[in-house]
């Protein structure tokens, strides 16, 4: 019998929130498997910290299934799957369908297929979780980012369906964050406008998502729920 703990899979962990959560899990003693699509400095950081790092293009069926096959050569069980990989593409008159298809692949098809094909890995762990990282924008829609919002809303629907399908062996939940981190080139006017949208008015950073993830992993009585982490945007 394998006495080592089952690893946690985090997709899209080469930067920002995914990178932070992967590093925090490693610091807390959890073995971690991460995916990346683009080589960034964070990929080497995770390698050096002891993570298993796998390339994956999760934008279409072929890439998703290739990743699942690769994953199964590295482990026969998982403690959790955290679907953090995300695609943000603006809609333009020339490539609306391509943009929608890519975001559908990353936000919906990849979680759907990975959840179905890796359930057996989760079932080999005494406690098992699936966590979908959605977006607070699904709460009211977006006139400027319709495809992104729609595909993230679909991910929240998958949370409900998989929670029902896999109970009681696997808990399935989501996290829907709003603004977490500004980009270095965001100007002062944009930052002030963005902060004013929430009741708390702060740039919280990535740790609030790790805290939310830990809550979902550690609480045995929560499934089918999407946690809103938006600083009180819904009460403004």
The residues, any chain, with a CB within 8 Å of residue 175's CB and separated by 6 or more, are 131, 132, 133, 134, 209, 212, 213, 216, 226, 227, 229
Q: Are 33 and 8 in contact (CB under 8 A)?
A: yes
Rg (C-alpha) for the chain, rounded Å, is: 17
How far does CA 68 lie from the centroid of its chain? 16
All residues at 6 or more sequence positions from 168 whose CB lies less than 8 Å from its CB, including other chains: none
Q: Is the peptide bond before 98 cis (omega within 30 degrees of 0)?
A: no
If one counts every other C-beta atom within 10 angstroms of the C-beta of residue 200, the result is 12
The residues that are catalytic are 148
Buried b (16+ CB within 10 A) or exposed e, 5-20: ebbbbbbbbbebbbbb
């Amino acid at each position: 019998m394998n006495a080592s703990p089952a690893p946690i899979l985090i997709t899209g962990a080469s930067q920002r929130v995914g990178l932070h959560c992967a590093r925090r899990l490693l610091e807390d003693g959890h073995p971690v498997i991460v995916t990346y699509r683009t080589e960034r400095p964070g990929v080497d950081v995770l390698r050096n910290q002891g993570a298993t790092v796998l390339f994956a293009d999760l934008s279409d069926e072929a890439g998703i299934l290739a990743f699942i096959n690769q994953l199964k050569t590295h482990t026969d069980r998982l403690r959790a799957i955290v679907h953090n990989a995300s695609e943000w593409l603006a809609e333009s008159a020339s490539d609306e369908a391509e943009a929608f298809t890519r975001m559908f692949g990353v936000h919906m098809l990849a979680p759907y297929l990975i959840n179905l094909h890796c359930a057996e890995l989760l079932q080999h762990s005494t406690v098992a979780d699936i966590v979908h990282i959605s977006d607070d924008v699904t709460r009211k829609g977006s006139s400027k980012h319709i495809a992104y919002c729609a595909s993230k809303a679909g991910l929240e629907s998958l949370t409900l369906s998989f929670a029902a399908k896999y109970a009681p062996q696997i808990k399935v939940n989501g996290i829907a964050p709003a603004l977490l981190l500004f980009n270095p080139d965001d100007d002062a006017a944009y930052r002030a406008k963005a902060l004013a949208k929430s009741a708390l008015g702060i740039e919280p950073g990535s740790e609030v998502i790790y805290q939310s993830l830990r809550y979902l992993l550690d609480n045995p009585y929560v499934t089918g729920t999407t946690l809103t982490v938006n600083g009180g945007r819904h009460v403004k």
